[in-house]
Amino acid sequence: MTVSSSIAVGSHLWIEDSEEAWLDGVVIEVDGEEIKVECTSGKIAVASVANVHPKDLDAPSCGVDDMTKLAYLHEPGVLFNLRCRYDVNEIYTYTGNILIAVNPFQRLPHLYSNDMMGQYKGVALGDLAPHPFAIADAAYRQMINEGISQAILVSGESGAGKTESTKMLMQFLAHMGGRVAAEGRTVEQQVLESNPVLEAFGNAKTVRNNNSSRFGKFVEIQFNNNGRITGAAIRTYLLERSRVCQVSDPERNYHCFYMLCAAPKEDTEKYKLGNPRMFRYLNQSNCYELDGVDETKEYLSTRRAMDIVGISSDEQDAIFRVVAAVLHLGNIEFAKVSESDASQPKDDQSQFHLKTAADLLMCNEESLEDSLCKRVMVTRDETITRSLDPEAAAISRDTLAKIVYSRLFDWLVNKINRSIGQDPDSKFLIGVLDIYGFESFKTNSFEQFCINLTNEKLQQHFNQHVFKMEQEEYTREEIDWSYIEFVDNQDILDLIEKKPGGIIALLDEACMFPRSTYETFAEKLYQTFRDHKRFTKPKLSRSDFTIGHYAGDVTYQTELFLDKNKDYVVAEHQALLSASNCSFVSGLFPPLPEESSKSSKFSSIGSQFKQQLQSLLETLSATEPHYIRCVKPNNLLKPAIFENSNVLQQLRCGGVMEAIRISCAGYPTRKTFDEFINRFKIIEPSVLNGSYDEIAVCRKILENSDLKGYQIGKTKVFLRAGQMAELDSHRTRILGRSACVIQRKVRSYLARKSFMSLRMSAIQVQAFCRGQVARHKYWHRRRDAAALTIQKEAQRFLARKAYALLSSAANLIQAGMRGMAARTELLFRKQTKAAILIQSHFRGFLACSRYLWLKAATIATQCAWRGRLARKQLRMLKMAAKETGALQEAKIKLEKQVEELTLELELEKQIRADIEEAKNRENGKLQSALDEMKMQFEETKKQLVKGIEDAKKTTNEQVQVQEVPVVIDSELVDRLTDENEKLKSLVNSLEKGIEESNKHSEDRLKQALDAESKIIQLKTEMQRLEEKISDMEETQDQMRKQSLTNFPSRKMSGRISQPTQPLENGDHEPQSVRPNKAYGSESSKNLSKSNIQRQRESTDVLLKCITEDLGFSEGKPVAAFTIYKCLVNWGSFTTEKTNVFDRLIQKIGSAIEVEEANNDYMSYWLSNTSTLLYLLEQTLTDTVSTPGKPPQSSFFGWMSFRSSRSFSIRKVEAKYPASLFKQQLTAYVEKIYGIVRDNSKKDLSSLLSSSSSSSSSSSSSSSSIQAPNLSSENSQSVNTNHWQSIIESLNGLLTTLKNNFVPPVLVQNIFTQIFSYINIQLFNSLLLHRECCTFSHGESIKAGLDELELWCTQEQEYAGSSWDELTRLRQAVGFLVIHQKSRITYEDLTTDLCPVLSPQQLHRICTLYWDEDYNTQGVSPDVISSMKVFITEDATDANDNSFLLDDTLSSIIPFSVDDISNSLRQSDFTLVKPAAQLAETPGFEFLLQGQV
């Protein structure tokens, strides 16, 4: 088909697509043989002209029921038509007399009721909507009227719904020809009930279908001359035997095995069964149960079906004993007998299953074991018994299981046929063929080969039938069709079944040779068919082969072809089971003729299947066929999903595309005269005057279009492929030209009308303006004259009044000024006297204060300077001693001196001896000094302990203390200071000695180093002593504070140290004066006070800075980051007492109280507080210290944390203030979160109420307005505006949260609770107000919900699971807008439509529902009654509002600190910049240390 002549810019076409199969679009550019198309999905594609198809713009949106009515009969047209009908639950479509059934994967009970059967009874095909009942009725009527037997062929792949379609056909035929038999059971009932029996033993779960038929079935229903059913017969084809022993995951074995394992307890105990996971034939797959299927109920249902088809209870018991025996056979495992190749049961468990299987089959246990483990070979002279190895024994076991199950299935089919009974005097029959469709899997074996052979045969029969119908159509219309070619697939059938030389013949030949393997069989195929166009050999395989079927190429694996083609019974198995004590089992294996009883006789399944297939085709050839093609819309087996590629492949496999190709070979487009003239009469308008008949009019139109090859029949116009597109293109061009003429005329009319209107308007405006100007001028002149008169009189009055006022004011001012001058002089004299007195006293005070300050500063400066000089001198000594270069140079000089002063060796020895003695003396002095210091330390310690005990005793004895002296031992301090000075002088002398010794020899350098190390040890010891003294003084201070807290008032002397006061930035004042300081306690106190003042100022600067909007850096809040770095640098987390945390909390609280209604401001603080809380969570450990018991903090760990050059978070042990600050900060995060959420609810509350009121008022008033269309459009626009406002409110909130970088977990929780609020408000309004519970109100809410769903999809990252919060509202609205509520049952309402709603809520909605616009009915009274029964049973209280939703859940705090930590765990603060204005402030340089 080509449309190249009709393609232009703006044409609507179908183009091929790799994902969607076909896409529709509009041509935007034509470049020779290539065109550029803009698809409706937004995709731009380039395609060749030869590979596109035209699109019919006049096709109905819901499709046509018969695809022969399509203007363009091609693949995309057929596919689009099926999809349109599937979307509106129209699952059946005709293609001529062929019915295409698309599986809906949901129950549609209204399509298959008895009333529906009555509607289709006796109605011609095509008069009603497509339906299997119509096909069955057409077959039945044709059989009765013409006396010809009929056949209905149902095909499709697994899961397409073949079995269900077959059931529908048989139900209708039973409805049409049913008759009650004398014995009380009808033939049609037995035929219908045979389906459950055959499904139980012949169906299984596959990858594509949960109830896949693993055999072909042809049901012959026999009728008498009166059209009554007199008998029936069932034929089956190719049961999949290998499934009994081999199951792939996630498939299942046959249903009967699982039913029997789930049977009642007495049955399972009888057959010794249990959980299906125990049996090897069932546990090869992990699938044991089917969704929605109760195996116990299915077992009982199968039993009842057996009763109906005439299987007695004894026979049923025997059947299930055989099924149980097969399961037990599978659990028999074999092991090798020692020192031989024989095999035996592996263990006691295998022996148990062997005995159980023998008992169930009623045969000898030893004979059963011998038949599995041994083989008898008969020769001319003797009989040889050969033992089998374990592997061969397992194969023998599986062979026995398969043949037993196969014979059992054949017996069931024969029994059903005998029970139903065939009528030998029957004149007619209707056959229903339920056959497997074309299969192509990843692995295709012998079963797929036979299935595809069947489909090739049926496709040839189908092609012949379609071609025959085409011939009949052309003959009926008297059309010449002699040149049309017929498409045939005979070459494929010859390749497979031709004798000799076909694949089946070569397979039988290979099976008869014992040494043949699948590799030799494949090699034989390659040699025989290497030149065949339908046969190919895969490149990367040595045993596979590919056949080009009509539906596509299929590659087969030959590994199991030979084993599956062999159909023979092992002689030992035959002898064992034919001798069974159970008549049923022995009946399955009747004795064989004498010549074949001693050995295994070969027979071919392929040959048997080919014979059965030939018999089936002969039967079909003798009948009039009808076709039903079942299609599976998706591989997920779910409703409302239509996969284009999948459906198109099935249409090709089902032969629908082949039928279309046959139709396209002739005249694919056929239009009746009326349809053709109505569509194309514009091409030749002259024929519409009534002087021409229909044929002449059609011929005139076609001749005017310059078409060739068309034909005009008796009632229709027949067009060749592509001619319909040319006619549409011609019609479009004519319409385009006509539209241009109409537009030109209308535009000229509108322009002239507009000009005349403007001209008249201009004249009227000019006249009005001129009159207005004249009136304005006259009024202005009158006003000027009046103004002059008024001004004259007013100026005279004002001048007289001003003079009088000035005169009186001047007198009053003169008197007041004179009095004020006198009072001022008196006051000046008093102030001068007082100032002189104040100055004298203040100057004296300043002089005294300056003297005291200079005195203290001088002392402090002297001490500091002396200490600085001492440290500087010590550093110089150390540097000189450690300088490597100087030592090396001195060493070289000494070596030279040693060479020059060799003669003075004796003198040098004497000097060394003297130095050694001096060293010993110095060591002795140092040791004695150290001992003396230790003794002094012990004495000081004892004195301090004694002082503490005395203080305790004094505190307990005194009742009122006016003054509590706590005396620091000044003598001890002085003594330690003297000792420190002595040690320093000793260090100086030692360093001098070391310097002198370094000048003479290397040995003296070593002595100096030793002395220096000892000095360092002494200093270290001294430092330790000082720390111990400090600790003791701190203990004394604490004891003093405890004693002072017991009294209401106290007076401290100047010598008592003040209690420790915490600094505002987290540091503390020293609790006592360190005795080892080089300067006095007075200077230390002054420096501490200046340090405190500086730290307080830093805290004030920080608090002032964070009150401003610092913004964000790298997506992180600057304020939170700055606060955290300051707290880290100040060491506030490890401080026992500090008020910096309290000041921060107060500042945050005062900031958020100012603008609670401002969500932007609240979001800014929510981002800062949550980020700061995350940093605290990552820094502080779980151990919290209390003020009463301060734990020891890790000093070096904290210092390393503070001195880190790059930003990193390390764990520290938090003190009580830091832990309290973390709890308070958590509370503020929750408070700010609640404020943001509640503000958003307030904004939405008015919008939701206005939306409900506007939609309900519009719905209630629309019926009273005369123009309902206008009112509905207005109400719809109003509702749309309300919902648009809601969406804008949500977008505004989301933008605010994004701009302030609020953590995503908080954003998701906010929107989740907002959507829960929307759900509660709208749902409760439906249940409380009757005017809201209407069809039109439901439509308006549904439109709004669609907007919300689109918003949630676009903002999935922040919306989270918000859409799920609207479940109740969505289900309630879905019920309101559904049509035909009267057909809904209570089960449909509670399981499909509204499963979440309670019975009370459903009852409320159903009783409140009303609709005056469309007059749709509510649910039936039976459903209301059922609801009342459930409400009465489930009622627990008498609350009338129990159906309302509670709003408390939408007001809780749905997150924790861990959620915030997990949300921000991946955050990187390395590049975050602190506040710029704060980083430039002195004292805050540490903020820039971590920046890169």
Q: Which residues are catalytic?
A: 158-159, 163, 209, 212-213, 437, 439
1379/1459 Cα distance (integer angstroms): 45
CA distances to 290, 657, 712, 724, 1322 from 718, rounded to whole Å, are 52, 20, 6, 10, 59
Could you tell me the two tokens for 854?
């200079």
1309/1170 Cα distance (integer angstroms): 14
Question: Under a CB-based contact definition with an 8 Å cutoff, are residues 933 and 1025 in contact?
Answer: yes
Beta bridge partners of 277: none
CA angle 1189, 1191, 1192 (to 5 degrees): 145
Element (H, E) at 336: strand 334-336
Beta bridge partners of 898: none
1219 dihedral zone (left: phi>0; alpha: psi -120 to 50; beta): alpha
Q: Is the peptide bond before 500 cis (omega within 30 degrees of 0)?
A: yes
Question: Under a CB-based contact definition with an 8 Å cutoff, are residues 209 and 637 in contact?
Answer: yes
675/689 Cα distance (integer angstroms): 18
Beta bridge partners of 155: 629
- The number of helices, as runs of H, and strands, as runs of E, in the chain is 46, 26
Do β-strands 150-155 and 428-434 pair in parallel, antiparallel, or remain unpaired?
A: parallel
731/738 Cα distance (integer angstroms): 11
Of 1400, 1271, 1254, the closest CA to residue 1332 belongs to 1254
Residue 1332 is classified by DSSP as G
CA angle 1195, 1201, 1202 (to 5 degrees): 90
Q: Up-side HSE of residue 825: CA atoms within 13 Å toward CB?
A: 6
Contacts of 1400 (CB under 8 A, 6+ apart): 1431, 1442, 1443
215/605 Cα distance (integer angstroms): 14
571/600 Cα distance (integer angstroms): 5
CA angle 1115, 1117, 1123 (to 5 degrees): 145
Dihedral sign from CA coordinates of 1253, 1259, 1265, 1269: positive
Helix, strand, coil distribution of the chain in percent, nearest 5: 60, 10, 30
517/497 Cα distance (integer angstroms): 21
Question: Under a CB-based contact definition with an 8 Å cutoff, are residues 232 and 422 in contact?
Answer: yes
Question: Under a CB-based contact definition with an 8 Å cutoff, are residues 542 and 526 in contact?
Answer: no
Buried b (16+ CB within 10 A) or exposed e, 86-122: beeebbbbbbbbbbbbbbbbeeeeebbeeebbeebee
Buried b (16+ CB within 10 A) or exposed e, 387-413: bbbbebbbebbbbbbbbbbbbbbebbb
Question: Under a CB-based contact definition with an 8 Å cutoff, are residues 1334 and 1408 in contact?
Answer: no
353/330 Cα distance (integer angstroms): 9
